[in-house]
Amino acid sequence: MIQQTDFFFEGGRSGVLLIHGLTGTPMEMRLLGKGLNRAGFTVHGMQLAGHCGNVEDLLATGWRDWYASVEKAADDMLKKVDHLFVGGLSMGALLALKLAADRPQQVAGVGVYGATFRYDGWSIPWAARLSFMLPLLKKLGIGRNFSFMEQPPYGIRDERLRAQVSTAMLSGDSAAAGLPGNPWYSLAEMYHLAAEVRSQLPQVTAPCLVAHASEDDVASLKNAELVMREVSAPAELLLLKDSYHMITIDRERRTLIDRSAAFFDDIAASTGTQRIAA
């Protein structure tokens, strides 16, 4: 059964919609959300369709369902704020970029956290690096019941936090820590999304804060470089040198919070009159 674990923190008239990653949970965005709320932002940590349940719940959905839930959350947020910012982790970063590409008049800025177009980090086994072939296998009906299981260090450099998260994940508590594996068919959907978003990057005109771990174990720095190179917006790169993939909860999360808050504040200050008038 899917558990509802999204969160909402009321703040000012600038709002941030936070999007978790594939097989993840809003909990991975909660510390970032609290920090942004302390900085004065209204924050909604949304929950993607099919997540925080079991594997069958996830397999019943695809990338269009995930994106539809992002659009609905954005519509709800726009009723409450004057400036809408969107931030996503891993696959959530791709969904955030797609929203910015599709809605240039509504999205004021984007937090691109650990963007994952391909799983090509240093901890990814060679077999999993071939996962870009999964859309073909899905089309052929091969491997519906197969998953790539998560591998240490689970995207977390902080050893104490890693132990807590891995224990919760392996216990089956998907609402707290996500699923312990990535179903092949869900990864195939992610690669369809990645191809879509990659083609849309030039349509992103909202300023982007591109934050990435320099030693990301899941998605190499090439993913961040792709965003920096292809978007049509001013883009700022934040390299985090003491974190792995899960930068929203790892050792440098306070740096991420502070830089994100300052980045969004600057945009709101510079475009406030124009956007309120619009």
| pLDDT beneath 50, residues of the chain | 273-278
**Nearest to residue 233, comparing CAs of 116, 117, 109?**
109
| Calpha distance 205→100 (Å, rounded) | 7
CB 232 within 8 A of CB 207: no
| Range list of β-strands (E), 206-261 | 208-213, 235-240
Q: How far is CA 48 from CA 95, 196, 250, in A?
A: 10, 18, 22
Which pLDDT does position 275 carry in this prediction?
37
| Calpha distance 240→212 (Å, rounded) | 6
Residue 132, SS3 per DSSP: helix
